[in-house]
Structure 1
Amino acid sequence: MTTCDNLNITVEEISDEVELALSISRYTLTIIGVIANLVVIIVFINCKIYRKCFTYTLIFQQAFIDLIACCSYLILFNYNVPDGHAGVVYCKSRTLFWLFASGSTFNLVYISIERYIAVVHPMRYWARGEWKNKMLPQLFVQFVFSALVVFQLSIFSRPDDLSPGKCRYCHGSETVRVISGGSIFLLNWVIPISIMMFCYRRVYVTMLKHSKSKTKWRKTPSSDQTDATTEDTATDTEQGTGIDLKIDRTSNSTRYSKAQVNFVITMVISAFVFLLSITPLLVLYFVYVLCDCFDYDRHPLRQAAIICFVSSLAANPFVYAFKFNEFKSGFRKTFFRRDKK
């Protein structure tokens, strides 16, 4: 008896009203996600924000990943599976959505590591900044990890014999199911969440210590300190370095700009939204892997959990509009500012 044909599990039937509500939610969220991420891409290109620093390039890439994930979800999860060999291809092609969804996760992790190095180890970050062109290949690291994690889904996915027009995962045995599900839960939830929590906690502690020392430093200002601050601000404006740190190599001190603090807060909010949206789906999947006590593929809770996860793909542009000052000014410049004659 194989896992995918386990007749001891009752097939979950979804009422027409619930199916209609889920369909409306899927279409609405994915369309919003496509439009919102497209707006981010347009703003970043028009204002050349992605060129200011490598971390902004990662944000630009995040919008592309989320855009493709929303498009693939709209195409691959809202139509009935065709019959025959075409149905097999259609079900396996759904792995494309999970590839970009997982890539979105790893890209957020990459950004948290990037900010951790910039804030906690600024000298190392400054030294690395002198060979930024060599960092461009690192933009593909997320996709390599993502492909390694989700490739297994293309092997297990197939049309559902019990529910025509649907797909499901056939693992073949309980051991394979547990190994597959456990690895996905570990690599897409436990490790990413742990890394982001560690990185942003260290960033917060480091910035807090700097803020306290800066307060003490300001109590006894001198003309030299004022000149240094002015020079640093001018350098920041001239070079257009975005959120990269300013480091005084003679005194080994670091100055955090408002732009950098603002960006860190923005990404913490994005990470928190990601945590809230991805947790229901992966926790539900992990419970299914452990007990195999309900029909995971057709359960209404799984449909709702996927919709919750897709909402995270559409949420980041709204987080940027709420908190990310660089994006807000670029948005106004792109869509509202008119040239004066």
Structure 2
Amino acid sequence: MTAYAQIFYALWISLMFSYAIIGHLIQLCLHTVICFLGILMNGIVLLVYLRVPSFQTMTNMLIVHQSFIDFISSILFLFFYVCPLYGFQPTGVNGIVFCKCRSLYWILTAASKGNLLGLALERYYAVIYPIRYRYHFKKKTLRYVFVCIWIYGVTCESNLAYFGTLDENNKCTYNWSYKTVEVIIGSTVFTFECVLPLLILGFAYGRIACALGKPRMPTKIAKNSYIVTRNRNTAQRNVIITSITVSVIFLVCWTPNQILYLFLAVIPCDKPYCELNGFVHSITIFLCFINMMANPFVYALKYKAFRKSLKQLLSRVNNR
């Protein structure tokens, strides 16, 4: 190797090292900002629910439950994903326990999907069967819905606690023991966390759109009740538009990760971009993280009941 080649090689290595440092700093800043925005914005939604009685309705309980899950997810994200970027990564036995406990974050993300399905089915039942909904959907029913949501989350992601471990680079990974096990779990998770939500959300909101899209002309006798019904339908449309927006953002943020998860489980690949901690995987994980703090912005922009309740809370603070 000539002197010029050695100089060029040294410059190339320095350049790549500089790019790696810059990339790490950008990742560090973005993850930190998203984490604290998730904690702050979801905390505001919880505060509005606790301090404004008019916001404490049945539908809003599911929306607030979504924010509660995202609030706890943001805290766990800080501990399991942001802290290691600052160098706080346990090693040895403590590191293995750390990687296994990281499954708590993914259980919460699965519960978040379950909550979206619960919200879609609640709106479907309210619009398609309004009389049954009024008589049968009580707070007691909602407790059962919450239990089902958490069972869904634990069932889908608790396997990560068993397979989680450390690799030779002191990074969290999964030891599946056998490729067959990885294929079965990957296919099952993809079905229940990607295909099933797409089918349920598409069916529920498709039926709702058809039901609300049918014009109902008032009679002279029922003009007053028509006005009340029209106002109620307007409020329902606002809730449904908000729910659909949240669902679309959720699917956009999570579908790439689910597809990649299935790809890594089913198709053997030893390329760097196919690794669990590779570049493509990092991008899909980053999209998942964005979803934690996205919903409160949707509520502020789209959901009139939340904006009204937030204004009431802020006016109380200003009057003190």
| Same fold? TM cut 0.5 | yes
Counterpart pick for 1:228 among 211, 214, 225: 225
SS at match of 2:158: helix
Alignment-derived partner of residue 198 in structure 1? 203
Matches within 5 A, 1:263-278: 263-278=239-254
TM-score by length of 2: 0.86
Q: Which runs of 5+ in 2 are unaligned?
A: 1-16
The question of 1:137 aligning with 2:113 is answered: no
Matches within 5 A, 1:38-187: 38-49=43-54, 51-52=56-57, 54-78=58-82, 79=84, 80-129=88-137, 131-161=138-168, 163-164=169-170, 166-187=171-192
Aligned CA distance change for structure 1 residues 58 and 340 (closer, same or farther; 3 Å): closer
Aligned CA distance change for structure 1 residues 134 and 275 (closer, same or farther; 3 Å): closer
* Deviation for aligned residue 1:340: 6.8
* Deviation for aligned residue 1:15: 2.4
Alignment-derived partner of residue 320 in structure 1? 299
Deviations 1:227-247 (A, max 9, x none): 4346xx4xxxxxxxxxxxx6x
Query: How many residues are paired up?
Result: 296
* Deviation for aligned residue 1:92: 0.5
**Conserved 8 A contact 1:22-1:303:** no
**Conserved 8 A contact 1:33-1:314:** yes
Determine which structure has greater relative contact order: mean sequence separation of CA pairs < 8 Å that are 6+ residues apart, divided by chain length. 1
Residue type of the alignment partner of 1:305 = T
Matches within 5 A, 1:287-326: 287-293=263-269, 294=271, 295-326=274-305
Aligned CA distance change for structure 1 residues 49 and 15 (closer, same or farther; 3 Å): farther
User: What is the percentage of aligned positions where both structures have the same residue?
Assistant: 26
Indicate the RMSD between aligned Cα atoms, in angstroms. Answer: 2.2
Aligned CA distance change for structure 1 residues 119 and 255 (closer, same or farther; 3 Å): farther
Q: Which runs of 5+ in 1 are unaligned?
A: 1-12, 234-245, 247-253
Residue type of the alignment partner of 1:146 = G
The question of 1:332 aligning with 2:311 is answered: yes
Residue type of the alignment partner of 2:34 = L
| 190-199 or 20-29, larger mean C-alpha shift | 20-29
SS at match of 2:277: coil
* Deviation for aligned residue 1:122: 1.9
- Partners of 2:158 and 2:319 lie apart in 1 by 53
Aligned CA distance change for structure 1 residues 119 and 227 (closer, same or farther; 3 Å): closer
TM-score by length of 1: 0.81
- Partners of 1:29 and 1:325 lie apart in 2 by 25
